[in-house]
Amino acid sequence: MDPARLEQHSPHEWHIPPTGHMRVPAILYASEDLILGMDDKVYEQLVNVTTLPGIVKAAYAMPDAHWGYGFPIGGVAAFDAEAGGVVSAGGVGFDISCGVRALTTGLTRTDIEACKRRLADTLFTRIPAGLGSTGVLRLNTHDMDDMLKAGARWAVSRGYGEMADLERTEEHGQMRGADPEAVSSQAKQRQRDEMGTLGSGNHYLEVQVVRELYAADAATVYGLHLDDVVVSIHCGARGLGHQIGTDYLKLMAVAASDFGIHLPDRELACAPLKSTLGQDYLGAMRAGTNCALANRQILTHLTREAFAAVMPKADLRVLYDVSHNTCKEETHVIDGTPRRLFVHRKGATRAFGPGHADLPAEFAQVGQPVLIGGSMGTCSYVLAGMRTSEPQSFASACHGAGRAMSRHAATRQWNGRQVVDELAARGILIRCVSQRGIAEEAPGAYKDVSVVVDAAESAGLARKIARLEPLICIKG
């Protein structure tokens, strides 16, 4: 993207002023180098988002933004139902509630090194991964609906975890307002055998070590110390989420003209928040969010079992679990007035600052943990939400490194064996069912996550707390 097309307001804030059908400005948070690396489609898609009815304040792009379906990945926008606002399935994405759960372990790198290969093999054996992978559960109709209503709470009630896990989970493990009746039978059928699975693509389970701390206050609250071992689980609602997205994008695209909505791009299909279709989608999307929360909860249980088999002294506790493909109803102050808004975050993470009422009490002074996954074989980060992100981005931050090239392009440049060998030489063990999948997720296919995180911090979206480096990575 050519920075000359943008108005630069600070080293890490760039504006596209309203013209034509734009209702509000578009704002990008990134360094100039990151802007130069963004494809022009990000500009086009962000401008398109600003034309949707009922949008409030601005459409935002995070530092890791890249082309997506409808909204750019890394896109954030909020809509007011009382002002004719809409909900867009393309503003949430197909991988509903894809997110990251981080676990502390009570172990150090020295503990892991003695049995790293055995731990990698045990995790790979016990954590189902890959396209079409199936899990340890098969849900009947009653179980499916219960899971879609109660999320991680349902999983804990079935013995997959502890009540304490829910206190460190977004929405306390259960997204209210879920409507299983709004989820198609095809979506439910796709999910019957997929609970407790990682899936494929950029999803992973990674054993990591804390290599650097930036803020002792928050690190202590989060339970992070130098050389500690952490586990990160990145996945979402699997086939059910994808089918919900598919189902409602079709319905919204067909109904747009009936609602008098002009779509600059069919992929931005949406429906008024106060319409029956809009409410049905919200109910289905919230059910999809619960599916993802339950999935990560079950994976946490399986991870604990794998660690117990190899390292009985391990004590895996949830640091935090946060989603980055959602639409949330939240209160935000606009021009001095609190308003209930529906905040779409697609490839962006909620990042509440210190003192926010929805945070666990222990995080009140330091802010919400913001979990940023890097590319396979590179570092990841734990950030903390800042008060400044509330007025700047509806309390949102980046979610990862962001792709720098397509999966197809990555497979032309790398092969899976090459990537595995190169990472093994650096002491990083990769376990994956697909050599092609490894090539698609090669570290070089992504932006430099450290540059992305530095931009997010400089823009006031979140502050750095800890840098994590991988020891073991399980992929689909």
Question: Rounded distance, CA 476 to CA 474, Å?
Answer: 7
CB 304 within 8 A of CB 123: no
Question: Rounded distance, CA 48 to CA 56, Å?
Answer: 14
Given the structure tokens 């008098």, which residue do they identify? Answer: 260
Q: How far is residue 143 from each of residues 199, 382, 448, measured CA to CA in Å?
A: 21, 34, 42
Structure token pair of residue 92: 């949430």
Question: Rounded distance, CA 468 to CA 300, Å?
Answer: 19
Query: Shortest CA distance to 391 belongs to which of 354, 347, 322, 336?
Result: 336
Structure token pair of residue 146: 């219960």
Q: What are phi and psi of 29, to 5 degrees?
A: -105, 110
Residue tagged active-site, from 9, 225, 399, 408? 399
Residue 42: in which H helix or E strand, if any?
helix 40-49
Using the Cα atoms of residue 450, residue 1, residue 12 and residue 399 in order, give the sign of their dihedral. Answer: negative
CB 113 within 8 A of CB 428: no
Specify whether 344 is catalytic.
no
Three-class DSSP category at 236? coil
Question: Rounded distance, CA 213 to CA 222, Å?
Answer: 12
Query: Shortest CA distance to 6 belongs to which of 53, 91, 54, 65?
Result: 65
Question: Rounded distance, CA 255 to CA 115, Å?
Answer: 57
Q: What are phi and psi of 23, to 5 degrees?
A: -90, -25
Q: What is the DSSP string of 407-455?
A: HHHHHHH--HHHHHHHHHHTT-EEEES-HHHHHHT-GGGB--HHHHHHH
CB 155 within 8 A of CB 294: yes
Q: Which residues are catalytically annotated?
A: 399
